[in-house]
A and B are shown apart, each in its own frame.
Chain A
Amino acid sequence: MRSLALLVALAALVALPFATTGYVVYLANLLLTFTVICLGMHLVLGEAGQFSLAQAAFYGIGIYTSGLSGAAFGWPFPCSVLAAGLVSAVVGLLIGGLALRMRDIYLALATFAFGEAMQWVLMDWTSVTGGPNGLHIAPARLFGLQLLTDKQAYPAVLVIAILMLGLAILLSRSRLGRAFRAVRESEVAAMAMGVPVKSTKLIAFALSAFFAGVGGGMFALYSTYIHPDSLGFQTTILVLTMVVVGGLGSIAGAVGGAIVFGLISELLRQTPSYQEVIYGLILIVFMMFAPKGLFAFLGESFGRLRRA
């Protein structure tokens, strides 16, 4: 049953560019990008229980790394996407090393401060990032092939998203994933079981930065322009709400939250006057009545129906 559903979903994703318009494909690209960033948030917050409110900053580092390296060295896109992830991960290691001395609210606020400072750097380092004029991203290349449209970029975006999803599932099932969850439940107990708490937290932080950076690399595949304005706290909050509304702590929740909530935000764009009110009410209602996220809520409701 479950594998059938997955096959259907995969078939739909593969068939998408043949059946729909450019806008839908653009939307699919964006949702897949956010899925990957949400997987990063899932790793650090859902699995390891550590706050990181700097996901937008790592996403931004990824976009700029990928865009600039593609333009400067003419790298094929798999290299520039990987570079985007790695540069973000290295920055994540450095920031994590400082920030992870704190916990809970202090960690959240320190990473928030880093995110804001990073946005300022992107805005004011004019010679490299173009500053407030934004950056035009050259089309991604592979062996002389150029990805010029959303439809051409879609296969690459889809493959990267699936690879990252696979990586997230592997990580979650590995010894490392178990260590993450042990740290989340109780640092003292994890320490007593021989889990190196500090380095485990650091790895979770760097991995989440890696995912966000790869997300940035994916964005650079189909987008031609980036402005630091779209890399602020709002974006981090969007990712956080996606993960929490989908269901904190499960991969299905992160993926589902990214897709469902991404679609909701996009649909609300059609009704600009009440967009914010509806968006806010959705968040409030979810937290009041479905605190474990959309999927746990649906599961419980179906269970109740079946029993009745």
Chain B
Amino acid sequence: MTLSLFILFLEQGVASGLVMGSVYALLALAIVIIFKTSEAPNFAQGDMMMGAAYVALYLLVFRKAPPIVAIPLTIVVAFVVAALFRGLVLAKVAKSSGSPVNLVIATLGFSYVLRGLVRGAGVGDTPRTFPPLASTDSIMIDQASVTILDLVIFGAAILTMAGFFWMFAYTKLGRAMRAVGMNPKAAQLVGVNIGRIHMLVWGLSGVISAIAALLISPKILMTADMGSIVTLGFAAAIIGGFNSLPGAVVGGFVIGVSENLVGLFISSRAIVVAPFVAIMLVLIVRPQGLFGGRTSIKKV
């Protein structure tokens, strides 16, 4: 491989990687905020994203709604469904057994229900294409070719993350969420309504997944199984430490870029396994992830 080809591959890999990585970062963020407050990973995250993508598809293509209506409506639906699942189902599961395994199984059940509904409703039976919300003309950044859509995806993802971090850091609601994540009992003592915060966190996670769905859907073929892309969000969250929000974002970009570089430099078949090898390597070297704090020891 000549040097110029090497640089071309490198630039293209990093550019495409940052675009996909920004979506993985969103998904990882959605996973981590739930994990931080519920102590259980949400295995329905991928199917929440898939469900939101199909709601948007239904509104845009089947109902011919203009994007200005369809996008906010999709986000509202994602918020309400996710918050209700937490408020009606998970609250009861958490009450009847404190074990995280039970919460995990309940989220798995939710993911089956969502997938079954999409398949059963008659829109998820055949692969579909999502109408791109921006032009797909390509432009060159130095030697790397990206589309306008790619730039919109990247920009929208960055804006979403910035808005989210602002809310988490500076608003009263964000402080309440952080408090519940750190010490639920103490948060309750100072007057935080824990049930409501849990619902809001789930709703917010639904919103972030919906935004990720709107961004990624034009770039992939839509099927009822498209939620499996969340595996890469999980990989990103793990690399970032699983309880660190900045870590999740960095992890997303690491996964996106490394996936594209592996695809260009090694082989496209190795793309599938690269994230898992990355997870194992990171966990072996740093069991708590790159940005994770010290793992606490359970009290006797």
List residues of A whose CB falls within 8 A of some B CB.
45, 98-99, 101-106, 108-110, 112-114, 116-117, 120, 124, 186-189, 237, 240-241, 244-245, 248, 273-284, 286-289, 291-292
B236 to chain A, nearest CB (A): 12
Q: Of B92, B99, B114, B273, which one neighbours A116 at CB under 8 angstroms?
A: B273
The stretch of B57-65, B116-124, B146-154, B193-201 in contact with A is B116-124
Known: A186-B300, A279-B112, A288-B92. Contact between A103 and B295, CB under 8 A? yes
Question: Which B residues touch A282, using CB under 8 A?
Answer: 109
B residues 274-300 touching A (CB-CB < 8 Å): 275-277, 279-280, 283-284, 287-289, 295, 297-300
B24 within 8 A of A: no
Residue pairs across A and B with Cβ atoms less than 8 A apart, 17 shown, are A101-B287, A105-B41, A106-B242, A106-B287, A112-B234, A113-B283, A240-B101, A241-B105, A244-B105, A277-B112, A277-B120, A278-B116, A280-B115, A283-B109, A284-B93, A287-B96, A288-B93
Known: A288-B89, A291-B99. Contact between A283 and B242, CB under 8 A? no
Q: Is B113 within 8 A of A113, CB to CB?
A: no
Q: Is B101 within 8 A of A283, CB to CB?
A: no
Per DSSP, chain B at the interface is: helix
Known: A113-B279, A116-B273. Contact between A186 and B298, CB under 8 A? yes
Q: With A113-B279, A281-B109 given, can you name 18 additional A-B contacts, CB distance below 8 Å?
A: A102-B287, A105-B41, A106-B283, A106-B288, A110-B279, A113-B283, A124-B269, A188-B300, A245-B105, A274-B120, A276-B113, A276-B119, A277-B116, A280-B110, A280-B114, A280-B115, A287-B102, A287-B103
Question: Which A residues touch B283, using CB under 8 A?
Answer: 99, 102, 106, 109-110, 113
State in angstroms the CA–CA spacing of A248 and B92 once bound together: 19
Q: Is A117 within 8 A of B112, CB to CB?
A: no
Question: Which B residues touch A283, using CB under 8 A?
Answer: 105-106, 108-109, 112
Q: Is A187 within 8 A of B272, CB to CB?
A: no
B168 within 8 A of A: no
List residues of B whose CB falls within 8 A of some A CB.
35, 41, 89, 92-93, 96-97, 99-103, 105-106, 108-117, 119-120, 231, 234-235, 238, 242, 269, 272-273, 275-277, 279-280, 283-284, 287-289, 295, 297-300
Known: A277-B112, A289-B96. Contact between A284 and B89, CB under 8 A? yes
A22 to chain B, nearest CB (A): 30
Q: Is A240 within 8 A of B105, CB to CB?
A: yes
Q: Of B93, B111, B289, which one neighbours A291 at CB under 8 angstroms?
A: B93
Q: Is A284 within 8 A of B110, CB to CB?
A: yes
Q: Is A248 within 8 A of B273, CB to CB?
A: no
Question: Which B residues touch A240, using CB under 8 A?
Answer: 101, 105
Q: Is B120 within 8 A of A109, CB to CB?
A: no
State in angstroms the CA–CA spacing of A146 and B63 once bound together: 61
Q: Which residue of B lies closest to A273 (CB)?
A: B120
B69 to chain A, nearest CB (A): 29
Question: Which A residues touch B276, using CB under 8 A?
Answer: 113-114, 116-117, 120
State in angstroms the CA–CA spacing of A42 and B103 once bound together: 18
B181 to chain A, nearest CB (A): 14
Question: Which B residues touch A117, using CB under 8 A?
Answer: 273, 276-277, 280
Q: Is A291 within 8 A of B112, CB to CB?
A: no
Q: Which residue of A lies closest to B120 (CB)?
A: A273
Question: Which B residues touch A273, using CB under 8 A?
Answer: 119-120
